[in-house]
Amino acid sequence: MRSICRFVRHLDDEKSEIMAKKERNSFSGSMGFVLAAAGSAVGLGNIWRFPYLAARDGGGLFLLIYIVLAVTFGFTLLITEVAIGRRSQQGPLTAYGYFHKKWAFLGWFSFIVPYIIYPYYCVIGGWVLKYFATYLSFNGKEAVADGFFTGFITSQWEPIILTAIFAIMCFYIVYRGVEKGIEKYSRIIMPALVIMVVFICGYSMFISHTDANGVTRTGLDGAAVYFLPNFEGLTLRRFLMIALDAMGQLFYSLSIAMGIMVAYGSYMKRSVNLGQAVDRIEIFDTLIAVLAGLMIIPAVYVFMGTEGMKAGPGLMFIALPNVFDSLGVFGTVIGMVFFLMVLFAAITSAVSILEAIVASVKDKFGWTRKKSVLIMAGTGFIWSVVVCLGYNIWYFEYPLPNGAIGQILDIFDYVSNNVLMPVLAILTCILIGWVVSPRLLVGEMRLNGYKFTRKGLYFVMLKFVVPVMLTVLLLTAFIQF
Ligand code: PHE
């Protein structure tokens, strides 16, 4: 029996070797792929979203749930997408049709999602640039003034100009290509980002402050609040809410269901150990998210107590500048380093999302890279301008199903993240888990004799657990619990 299995596996490996067309443009090796993919995964999600969710959702408890989900749920989806890319050697738009003609429509989801996200991600990149420039010119005081953020996003030209600068940087990197652009810049940006994160974390641990009531709080107290699970008032309902938050966050943070990992997978050399590379991306992404929490939560706790931690989405753009302000001159320097780091994180993510749409049209229509980047980045920028105008001349208030009031940016975000992405991921699980066979992708992972030890877990997750969990997540987009 064993030898039959081995023989079948051998055939499978052989088939996939033959089916691989001559190697396309690719990352130079495992390290290049991991840094570029980690560059995609580490973005505003890690630095802006993760800390406020963790602060809101009971610190350590959220962390614990997040890590368990990362090694089960995240691992399954990430492996699947990267393997789809490498196996098909196609951009997201054509990759799904490679597995089953009738399922080729999934490619369109995988094209539309990043095409919706890219324009508004550039707008947020422009906001980060604004904060960086403010600290760079030693005007950190301005950032804490009431209405600084709103005043800026509602102004007519400034957000558009800054978005354009951000978009040009992304355009240039993607235009240069996979190895000479994306990989090259990820190799510089990612180590720099890690150094900055560790530096700010270290600083954040050692600050202390005595408030008007004479209570002294230190960074270390804040770290304890962050890491120690808070079970106070925990009900089943709250537990489920936290789990859903963690799942949604993980999904976004790993750049899953955005076509990105399919595109990057298609540039991964067949000699690279796919399973190991995916593990590294996950560890990198989770580590940076946890460290981002450690750099922000203690600092906010020291100056504003547990109340400050409830700042929600405003944690980074509003609460944090207040912290920098309280730190005096040194705060300006920390603010500068901090927003440069956020800018780096945002650029590598925006680059990956632009590459996903570029790879799609390149493979579908046979366009050159030059033409693909020009058309995708060009039309994307028009949408970015529409998003910017959504805060002034086209301002409206649209109530979203989750209770939030949205403008154009929020609508783009809601449709892609809460609706299209879960649908794409559920259908991907069905396609690979049931219609084709997960064995096909396992064969891809075992190329060159690499081991895939968590095969059993992968099968169960892909066929049953992940689609069910994602369906619950999708339902929450329409129903309020
Ligand atoms: N993983 C990214 C983040 O955490 C998500 C993302 C990637 C969003 C690429 C847009 C583009 O920010």
- pLDDT of the residue at 20: 47
Q: What is the pLDDT of residues 201-250, one digit of tens each?
A: 988 888 899 988 889 999 999 999 899 888 888 888 888 888 888 988 99
Say which residue the tokens 């007519």 belong to.
Answer: 156
Average pLDDT (392-403) is 88
Q: Which residue has the tokens 């304890």?
A: 224
Lowest mean pLDDT among 171-180, 308-317, 346-355, 447-456: 308-317
How far away, in angstroms, is 125 Cα from ligand 1 center? 11
Q: What is the pLDDT of residue 18?
A: 46
Instruction: Report d(CA 300, CA 321) in Å as an integer.
Output: 10
Q: Are 73 and 461 in contact (CB under 8 A)?
A: yes
Question: pLDDT tens digits, residue range 363-389?
Answer: 999 999 999 999 999 999 999 999 999
pLDDT at 448: 86
User: What is the C-alpha to C-alpha distance for residues 90 and 85, in angstroms, rounded to an integer?
Assistant: 6
**Ligand 1: distance of its center to the CA of 352 in Å?**
8
270 CA distance to ligand 1 middle (Å): 26
Q: Indicate whether residue 41 lines ligand 1 (CB < 6 A).
A: yes
Pocket of ligand 1 contains residue 384 by CB under 6 Å: no
Round to whole Å and give the CA distance between 335 and 168: 24
Instruction: Look at residue 437 and tell me whether its pLDDT is greater than 90.
Output: yes
Asked if pLDDT for residue 424 goes beyond 70, the answer is yes
* Mean pLDDT rounded to a whole number for the chain: 90
pLDDT confidence of 304, banded at 50, 70, 90? confident
For the segment 433-459, the average pLDDT, to the nearest whole number, is 92
Name the β-bridge partners of 229.
59
- What pLDDT score was predicted for residue 11? 47
pLDDT for residue 14 is more than 60: no
* Ligand 1 contact, 348 CB (< 6 A): no
pLDDT in tens, 259-293: 999 999 999 999 999 999 999 999 999 999 999 99
**Rounded Cα distance, 262 and 90, in Å:** 8
**Is residue 88 within 6 Å of ligand 1 at its C-beta?**
no
Ligand 1 centre distance from Cα of residue 397 (Å) = 25
Which pLDDT score, from 0 to 100, does residue 370 have? 96
Name 434's Cβ contacts closer than 8 Å, sequence gap at least 6.
463
- Which of the listed residues 252, 284, 287 should we mutate to test ligand 1's pocket, taking the one with most ligand atoms within 8 A of CB? 252
**What spacing in Å lies between the alpha carbon of 46 and ligand 1's midpoint?**
9
Pocket test for ligand 1, best of 193, 255, 421 (most atoms within 8 A of CB): 255
And the tokens for 312?
A: 């929600």
* CA 272 to centroid of ligand 1, rounded, Å: 24
- Residues 6 or more apart from 200 whose CB is under 8 A from it? 295, 334, 337, 338, 341
Per-residue confidence at 453, pLDDT binned at 50, 70, 90?
Answer: confident
pLDDT at 481 over 70: no
117 CA distance to ligand 1 centroid (A)? 9
- pTM value is 0.91
Residue 380 sits at the vertex; the CA angle it makes with 403 and 425, to the nearest 5 degrees, is 55
> Stretch 360-365: mean pLDDT, rounded?
97
pLDDT greater at residue 240 or residue 174: 174
Atom of ligand 1 nearest to the CA of 352: 9
Residue 343 Cα distances to 43, 192, 196, 218, angstroms = 9, 12, 12, 28
Q: Which tens digit of pLDDT belongs to each residue from 114-136?
A: 999 999 999 999 999 999 999 99
Looking at residues 135-155, what average pLDDT do you find? 90
Q: Looking at per-residue confidence, does 327 or 82 come out higher?
A: 82
Q: Of 47, 50, 118, 121, which is best to mutate to test ligand 1, by the most ligand atoms within 8 angstroms of its C-beta?
A: 121
Please answer whether residues 47 and 345 qualify as being in contact, where contact means their C-beta atoms are separated by less than 8 angstroms.
yes
User: From atom 9 of ligand 1, which residue's Cα is the shortest distance away?
Assistant: 349
C-beta 174 within 6 A of ligand 1: no
Give the pLDDT score at 175. Answer: 97
Look up residue 72 and give its amino acid: T
C-alpha 248/C-alpha 87 separation (Å) is 27
φ, ψ of residue 208 to 5 degrees: the values are: -150, 160
Question: How confident is the model at residue 13, as a pLDDT?
Answer: 52
Q: What is the 3-state secondary structure (H, E, C) of the chain?
A: CHHHHHHHHHHHHHHHHHHCCCCCCCCCCHHHHHHHHHHHHCCHHHHHHHHHHHHHCCEHHHHHHHHHHHHHHHHHHHHHHHHHHHHHCCCHHHHHHHHCHHHCHHHHHHHHHHHHHHHHHHHHHHHHHHHHHHHHCCCHHHHHCCCHHHHHHHCCCHHHHHHHHHHHHHHHHHHHCHHHHHHHHHHHHHHHHHHHHHHHHHHHHCCEEECCCCCEEEHHHHHHHHHCECCCCCCHHHHHHHHHHHHHHHHHHCCCCCCHHHHHHHCCCCCCCHHHHHHHHHHHHHHHHHHHHHHHHHHHHHHHHHHHHHHCCHHHHHHHHHHHHHCCHHHHHHHHHHHHHHHHHHHHHHHHHHHHHHHHHHHHHCCCHHHHHHHHHHHHHHHHHHHHHCCCCCCCCEECCCCCEECHHHHHHHHHHHHHHHHHHHHHHHHHHHHCCHHHHHHHHCHHHCCCCCHHHHHHHHHHHHHHHHHHHHHCCCCCC
Atom of ligand 1 nearest to the CA of 255: 1
At 400 the pLDDT is: 85
Residue given tokens 């640039």 in the structure block: 129
pLDDT digits (tens, 9 = 90+) for 16-70: 544 444 557 899 999 999 999 999 999 999 998 898 888 888 888 999 999 999 9
Q: How many A from CA of 229 to the centre of ligand 1?
A: 27
317: pLDDT strictly greater than 90: no
- Contacts for 329 with CB less than 8 Å, ≥ 6 apart: none
Nearest CA to ligand 1 atom 4: 45
- Asked whether 416 lines ligand 1 (CB < 6 A), one says no
Better-predicted residue by pLDDT, 108 or 399: 108
217 bridge partner residues: 209
- How far apart are the CA of 43 and the centre of ligand 1, in A? 5
302 φ, ψ (degrees, to nearest 5):
-60, -45
CA of 123 to the centre of ligand 1 (A): 13
Q: Which residue among 53, 258, 287, 376 has the greatest number of ligand 1 atoms within 8 angstroms of its CB, and so is best to mutate?
A: 258
* Ligand 1 contact via 428 beta carbon (within 6 Å): no
User: Which atom of ligand 1 is the closest one to the Cα of 350?
Assistant: 11
Which pLDDT belongs to residue 179? 94
